[in-house]
Amino acid sequence: MRLVLVGTSYQRAPVELRELLAYDPELRRGALERLGGGSTEAAVLSTCNRTEVYAVGAEPGELEERIYGELAGLSGLSHSELAPALYTVGDEAAAVHLFRVAAGLDSMVPGEAQILGQVREAYEAARGSETAGPTLHRLFRQALRVGKRVRTETAIGENPASVSSAAAELAERVFEDLAGRRILLLGAGKTADLTAANLISRGVGEIVVANRSPERAEALARRFGGRAVGLDGVEAELVHADVVVASTSSQGFVLSAGQVERAMKERRGRPVFFIDIAVPRDVDPAVIELEGCYLYDIDDLERVVAESVAGRREEAVRAEAIVSEEADAFRAWQLSLDVVPAISSLRARAERIRREELERAQGRLGTLSPSQRRAVEALTSQIVAKLLHQPTVRMKEAAAAADGVLYADAVRHLFGLGEDADQARKPRQ
């Protein structure tokens, strides 16, 4: 059985094409029904950045054609239009690819966590449609393990990869956690929105929105369950706020160092973290000189993100080593499949002979007590197991060295296992 992967990702296809190749759960179910069944296994991984179809069957060329047909049908494009955007990979390379995807090594932002859930979803869908056979079960379970190992054994996913998450993590370096903290949003634009959403996801307590336009402030405050104030109320709010996110379109400073200094006196030394993502800046840079004030503008945050993404890339080297280790394990498992049917047949044949001979000897042995009967059973089983132990070990070793097929054929030939082997080759469901 051969593994085939046909797919595309953000590296090959623009968003216009990826949109045409995206599967929702319903479409995926249909695709799995069309591609899987019989001895063919199939799984579809579909995210906003990639669509990949994994299939296992006897004829890789035919599988590839079927997947191309499926993707052409989905997108409404011809084979020739699709071909430049699609990649086709087989067997071990396909496994390595999925392991890298699950590890986040093939993602736009190395180590992003969402992809692991999407790989799990693809596997669950294949299981639900009963199109995951032994190879895909093994492949996806191992891919999920790779994803978990990479995230626990390396720091690839630990550092923020966006300005909003960097801002939130920096705030967490000042306050232990953001649960129950008060956030003051200056400005009600898109950037403030994103940053606020990130902070809210970390459990902030109260959100106060101050904006020149009361309507926009009200709208944003309503969305986040906070309250709105006018810009003239900012100084009073500053006394209570722990994190200030400034993103107004004002041409001058909205917060002067003097205003902050006055507020700090009333805060009795409690620190405050300023995130100034406005251009031109909203917060007077002199604020950084004040005790207990921490100020990051957009450039500072972008430098932090760049450094953290560079850190992720360094960790990616360690992650690649894990992928390679797991790929070796998958390869060894695949190779062992070459000899497993022969070993199973050999053992089945030996067991059948043992039972037949025991039955034949029944008359000569006379009446045996249950304990004698058990002793004879154990003795004959041990003889069979010991005889077969060495050939089994040797065949597995040969499989690991890629000579498994030769050995399996030799065993089948020597013991006349042809029919048994054919039976055992059928994939287990």
Partner 1 sequence: MCVGVYLIWGCRAPFRLLGLVVMPLAAVLLALAWAAGGVGEQARSDFGDAFLVFHVGLILAAFAGFTLAAALAALYLWQDRRLKHRVPGVLRLRSPSLQTLDGLTVRAVAFALPALTVGAGIGLARLREEGASFDAIMGLTVLTWVVYAAFLVLRWEAGWRGRRTAYLALAGFLLVVLVRVVLTPFVHF
The torsion angle over the Cα atoms of residues 282, 285, 286 and 290, rounded to 10 degrees, is: 90
To partner 1, the closest distance from the beta carbon of 163 in angstroms equals: 13
**From the CB of 216, what's the least distance to partner 1, in Å?**
30
Per-residue interface string for the shown chain with partner 1, residues 226-265, x marking contact by CB under 8 A: ----------------------------------------
Indicate the residue among 99 and 273 with the shorter CB distance to partner 1.
273
- Residue 3: which of 50, 78, 67 has the closest Cα? 67
Given 173, 364, 386, 428, the residue binding partner 1 (CB under 8 A): 173
296 binds partner 1 (CB under 8 A): yes
Give catalytic status of residue 48 as yes or no: yes
# residues near partner 1 by CB under 8 A: 27
**Distance between CA atoms of residues 351 and 347, nearest Å:** 6
> Does 288 participate in binding partner 1 (rule CB under 8 A)?
yes
Residue type, 372: Q
Shortest distance, CB of residue 269 to partner 1, whole angstroms? Answer: 4
Per-residue interface string for the shown chain with partner 1, residues 336-355, x marking contact by CB under 8 A: --------------------
Radius of gyration of the chain (CA): 32
Q: How far is the CB of 292 from partner 1 (least distance, A)?
A: 6
Looking at 105, 143, 166, 343, which residue binds partner 1 (CB under 8 A)? 166
User: Nearer Cβ to partner 1, position 103 or 301?
Assistant: 301
Residue 19 contacts partner 1 per CB under 8 A: no
**Sole window of 81-89, 296-304, 321-329, 395-403 interacting with partner 1 (rule: CB under 8 A):** 296-304
Instruction: Examine residue 174 and tell whether it contacts partner 1 (CB under 8 A).
Output: yes
Which residue of 33, 59, 158, 328 would you call a contact of partner 1, by CB under 8 A? Answer: 158
Out of 14, 38, 269, 363, the only residue in the binding site for partner 1 (CB under 8 A) is 269
Of the residues 11, 19, 27, 48, only one is catalytic, namely: 48
**Which CB atom, from 130 or from 307, has the smaller least distance to partner 1?**
307
Count of CA atoms in the C-beta half-sphere (13 A) of 255: 36
Catalytic annotation, residues: 48
Contact positions toward partner 1, by CB under 8 A?
Answer: 158-160, 166, 169-170, 172-176, 268-271, 288, 291-292, 294, 296, 300, 303-304, 306-308, 311
